Amino acid sequence: MNSVLSSILETGLVQCPDGQIVKSHSGITRQEGEFLQDIIDEAKPKLSLEIGLAYGVSSLFICDALARIPGARHIIVDPAQFDEEYWRGAGLHNLRAAGYGDMIEFYNLPSHIALPRLESDGRQIEFAFIDGAHLFDFVLVDFFCVDRILKVGGIVAFDDLWMPSVQRLCRYIVTNRSYKVFHHVSRSSSKEERVSWKRRLFQKAVSSSEAIRKIIRPEYAEPEIDFNLGGGNRCVAFRKEAADNRAWDFHRDF
């Protein structure tokens, strides 16, 4: 582990470009960082992408793993990186201090502007980590744009699966797109993730009656655990199984 990342994890403090030391109030945990590194070690992407930089904690984990892949590069998109009320350029500063400046390609643009430009330039990625704005429409657009430049067999990961907007997007992905859950990391114990006997009884009743399935919400008919998206998971990664070949009118409730 590089010394900059190690220091942030141990102290909870980050350094800004002006030398000021501030408390880190945003960033993934060590467990989540190692989760991303395990994916990179397995997938070995030559070109990866990240939406959301903040203080650079996840980027440091990602670049730390990418450094083991000859010629690997990392694209980062974050329109708020230099906002004085938020990150004050600390994320880029930390990446450069860690020696990863030459590896990264940074876009100080909203993702809905930057990602179509990458597609227009013919760029294709093999791994993406989406951790930008968590409003449903924003995270949906992020996935849509990432999918268009993600190679078949590539991996896309999401943080904050506990948030309803991200949960809903992940349900859409597994019900409507050619993606399968690749890995996930939990923030709860296995006991907390177990479905109660009442829920199991309810699921059995629903599954045995098409009439019931038609009148209840999809998340009750097919709860997250059916898709390996248990509510205790903090991060989830999907593998793209095939190119988008849906019929023009295809839709499955999610």
Q: Which residue has the higher pLDDT, 222 or 59?
A: 59
Task: Dig out the tokens for 6 from the structure.
Answer: 């190690």
Residue 195: other Cβ atoms inside 10 A: 15
> Which residue reads 């809905």 in tokens?
112
Q: Could you tell me which residues come within 8 angstroms of residue 231 by beta carbon, excluding any fewer than 6 positions away?
A: 162, 167, 188, 193, 224, 225
Domain boundaries, the chain: 3-194+229-240
Is the distance from CB of 103 to CB of 67 less than 8 angstroms? yes
> Which residue reads 């998971």 in tokens?
233
pLDDT at 27: 83
Q: Could you tell me which residues come within 8 angstroms of residue 204 by beta carbon, excluding any fewer than 6 positions away?
A: none
> Which residue reads 């992408």 in tokens?
49
> Can you give the length of the chain in residues?
254
**Short-list 144, 170, 167, 150, CA closest to 243:** 150
Helical segments of the chain, H only: 3-11, 30-43, 57-66, 90-97, 111-120, 136-149, 164-176, 190-193, 197-207, 210-215, 218-221
The proportion of the chain whose per-residue pLDDT surpasses 90, expressed as a percent, equals 67
pTM: 0.83
Q: Is the pLDDT of residue 219 over 80?
A: no
CATH number, domain 3-194+229-240 = 3.40.50.150
Q: Environment class of residue 37 by beta-carbon count within 10 Å: exposed (0-12), middle (13-18) or buried (19+)?
A: middle
Q: How confident is the model at residue 25 (pLDDT cuts 50, 70, 90)?
A: confident
pLDDT in tens, 94-121: 999 999 999 999 999 999 999 999 999 9
Q: How confident is the model at residue 86 (pLDDT cuts 50, 70, 90)?
A: confident
Collapse the DSSP code of 244 into the 3-class scheme (helix H, G, I; strand E, B; otherwise coil) and give the result: coil
